[in-house]
Amino acid sequence: MLRVLENPLYYLDNFQDVLSWIAARYADLLSVEETQFIADFGALPLPSRALFVRLVMRKGCLFRASKLNYEEIGDTRAAALPLLALEWVEADPAISLDELFEQLLKAEIAQAFQLAAPLKAARKAEQLDALREQHGDSKPFSAWHPACGDVLYRIGLQPLCDRLRLIYFGNYHQDWSEFVLSDLGVYQYEKVEFSPKSRGFRTRQDIEHYEVLHQCRERYNDSAPADEVLQALAALPLSQDNTWLASRRDKLRFQIGQHLEKTQDWPAAYRAYADCRYPGARGRAIRVLEKDEQPQAAYERLTIALAAPESEAEQQLLLRMAPRLRRKLGHAKLAAAVPAAIDRIDLHLPYPDAACYVEGVVQQHLMQDDAPVYYVENTLINSLFGLLCWPAIFKAMPGAFFHPFHRGPADLHSADFCQRRSTDFAACLAQLDDGSYHAAIRATLAAKHGIVSPFVSWDVLDDGLLDLALACIPAFHLKKAFERILLDIKSNRSGLPDLIQFWPEERRYRMIEVKGPGDRLQDNQLRWIAYCAEHAMPVSVCYLQWQAAA
C-alpha cells in the first residue's frame, strides 16, 4: 500500500481492508444488515465510497455540502447521489434549533431569523436562548433558512459503522486513526501470525453483550443511578466460558462500588462488590462492611479471604484491617509482624533555584563519575522483562491477537495469561540460568526496536543503560523480579523504585525510592521493597528534606 502522504485515498483503502477482514473472519456472526452493507459498499462508485468514509470518520452526523471539499473526490454533491439512493445519507433532514445553530455562522443566523439589534450583536449562546421559546419544533434545514443555497446531509449508518469497528478491534477505544498512525510510523506493531479463525468475538451474542456493557458504562458516566446500572449488569446473561466479557462487567461493577464508597453509601457499595470478581473487590467489600459498622460480618469474610489471598495487594489490605476488626470484636491482640529492615538514606539539601522534581535533585546529588544514577522508576525492569520474554508475550494464541494493531495480547490481564504460556515463559526465564539472556535481550532489542510493547519503554532503554544493567544486576535478581511481575502483571508492573545506581567496576547496583517532604511509601512500593529485602536485592529509601534558608 502507498504511504499516507502518497495516497490521497488512504482512508478508503483502510476502511475497505476492515470490511474485507470482517467478511473473511466474522461472516457467520454478521447480521443481515451488516452483510448487505458490506456488499453494497463494494458496488458503489469510488467517489461515493470515498465520500461515505470521509463522513464516517468526521465528528458528528450533520454536514453541510459546502464544507465537503476533497480534491480526490471531486464533485461531492454528485458523489452523494448513490448514498442518497441507498438511504445511507439523508438530504435536508429535520433538525432542532440547537442543531441548526451548530451549522450556521452568526451572520447566517441573523439573516435566517431577521434579527434586529441588540440581539443581532449578541453572542450565539444568547441568541439561541432568546429564540428557543419561539422555535421548539424540528424542521428541515431548508425551512429554517430558505435563502441559503447550501444542502445539509445527515449520515444515518454511524451506529452500524461503529459496530463494524467494534467487531474488527474488539473494543470501542481504538478507531480509524490506528491505520494512519501506523502508516506514518508513529506506532509500529508486532506482526503476529494468527489464523483466520482467531477473533475477538466468538458468537453474535458476544457482540450484543459487549454493546450492552458499553451502554451501561456510558449511562454510568452520564450519572445514571448506580442501582439501575448494577441491575442492568446483573441481568446480562453472559456465558460461563466468556471470561473476557465477565471481567469487563466486573471492572464496571468495581468502579461503581468505588463511586458509592466515596458517597458513603455503604449498603449499595457492598452490593456492588459482593459478587464482583474483579481484583480487589473482595477486600473492598470487607472494608465497606467495616465502615458500615458490621465488624462481625467483615471479620468472617476477612478470615476466609486470609486463608487464600488473591494477591499480595489483597493480603496487605486484609492484614491492615485485621487488628482493627479484632479490637472492635474484643478479640485478643495478636503479636505484630516485625517488618523487614529497610536501608534508609536521609538527605538535607538546599532548595533548588529552578523548578524540578525531587527524584532529579537526589539523582544529581548521588551521581558520581564511577557510579552513575538513572531515573528509571518502572521502566527498566519492565523493559528487560519485555525484551527477554518477547516470544512468550507475543505468542499467537486463540483470543490473544485478532487484528494487526494490538499493543499487547488481549488477554494480558486475564487470570490464566501466564498459565496458558507457562512453557514459553519458563523457556525465556531459563536463559537467566544458563547465561544466554544477555544475547537474547540484545537480539530482541535490535530486531524489535520501536515496536509497541506493554512492557518495553524504548525512549528510556538506551545502550548505556542496558550495558550497565546487564553488567551490574545479577541474573538471579532479574529472575526474581520477573517472576514477581508474572505473579500479578496488572499490579506488579508498578511500584518499582525511582532511581538505580550502578558501580560498574564492582559489578553491583542499588535501587532507590525517593520521598520528598511529607511524602510516604505507597502500598505497591512497600510490597516491592519487602520482596527485594526478602531476596537480598539492594534497595534503599531516600527521604529528602530541604535545608532551611539562611
Q: State mean pLDDT over 429-448.
A: 97
The mean per-residue pLDDT over the stretch 217-223 comes to 93
Looking at per-residue pLDDT, the higher value among 390 and 134 belongs to 390
Residue 118: strand, helix, or coil: coil
Run of H or E including 439: helix 437-448
Q: Has residue 240 got a pLDDT over 70?
A: no
Rounded to an integer, the average pLDDT of 116-121 is 90
**Tens digits of per-residue pLDDT, 281-299?**
999 999 999 999 999 999 9
How confident is the model over 415-422, as a mean pLDDT?
92
Cell numbers that stand for 322 in this block: 485485621
Long-range CB pairs of 172-181 (<8 Å, 24+ gap) are 172/214, 174/405, 176/11, 176/14, 176/15, 176/56, 176/57, 178/405, 179/10, 179/11, 179/14, 179/17, 179/405, 180/4, 180/10, 180/11, 180/14
Residue 262: strand, helix, or coil: helix
Which range of 8-12, 46-50, 457-461 scores highest in mean pLDDT? It is 46-50
Q: What is the pLDDT of residue 3?
A: 53
Among candidates 280, 357, 333, which has minimal Cα distance to 524?
Answer: 280
- Report the chain's mean pLDDT, rounded to a whole number: 93
- Say if residue 77's pLDDT is above 60: yes
Quote the pLDDT of residue 414. 86
pLDDT on residue 245? 86
Tell which residue, 226, 292, 214, has the closest CA to residue 258.
Answer: 226
Handedness of CA 200, 203, 204, 209 (dihedral sign): negative
User: 289-303 burial, b if ≥16 CB within 10 A, otherwise e?
Assistant: bbebebbeebbebbe
CB 418 within 8 A of CB 486: yes
Q: Is the pLDDT of residue 304 over 50?
A: yes
**Whether residue 398 has pLDDT greater than 90:** no
Amino acid at 413: H
Least confident of 61-75, 179-193, 205-219, 266-280: 179-193
Residue 184 has pLDDT above 90, yes or no: no
- The larger pLDDT score, comparing residue 1 to residue 261, is at 261
- C-alpha–C-alpha distance, residues 249 and 238, integer Å: 9
Contact, 363 vs 499, CB < 8 A?
yes
Predicted confidence at residue 399, as pLDDT, reads 81
**In this predicted model, what pLDDT tens digit does every residue of 321-337 receive, in sequence order?**
999 999 999 999 887 77
pLDDT higher than threshold 80 for residue 188: yes
What value does the mean pLDDT take over residues 176-201? 85
- Beta-carbon contacts of 502 under 8 Å, excluding residues fewer than 6 positions away, are 371, 372, 374, 468, 469, 471, 472, 508, 509
Question: pLDDT tier at 4 (50, 70, 90 boundaries)?
Answer: low
Query: Is the per-residue pLDDT at 428 higher than 90?
Result: yes
Which of 131, 153, 152 has the alpha carbon at shortest distance from 142? Answer: 152
Helices (H) and strands (E) in the chain, counts: 27, 10
pLDDT of residue 1: 42
pLDDT of residue 6: 81
What's the whole-number mean pLDDT along residues 39-55? 97
Reported as a single tens digit per residue, the pLDDT across 337-364 is 777 778 999 999 998 877 788 999 999 9
Can you spell out the DSSP letters for 232-255? HHHT----TT-HHHHHHHHHHHHH
DSSP state of 116: -
Helix (H, G, I), strand (E, B) or coil at 387: helix
| Range list for CATH 1.25.40.10 in the chain | 194-328
**Considering the chain, what percentage of its residues have pLDDT values greater than 70?**
98
Confidence of residue 217 (pLDDT cuts 50, 70, 90): very high
Instruction: Please check the confidence at residue 309 and state whether its pLDDT lies above 90.
Output: yes
What mean pLDDT comes out for the span 256-271? 96
Task: Tell me which H or E stretch contains 384.
Answer: helix 379-388
pLDDT of residue 352: 83
| Maximum Cα–Cα distance across the chain | 86
Q: What is the DSSP letter of 91?
A: E
Q: Which residue has the cell 477486600?
A: 283
Task: Identify the pLDDT of residue 2.
Answer: 44
Residue 73 DSSP class: T
pLDDT class for 117, splitting at 50, 70, 90?
A: confident
Residue 203 pLDDT exceeds 50: yes
What kind of fold does domain 194-328 have according to CATH? 1.25.40
pLDDT value at residue 533: 92
Name the pLDDT band for 100 (thresholds 50, 70, 90).
very high
- Looking at residue 133, its pLDDT comes to 87
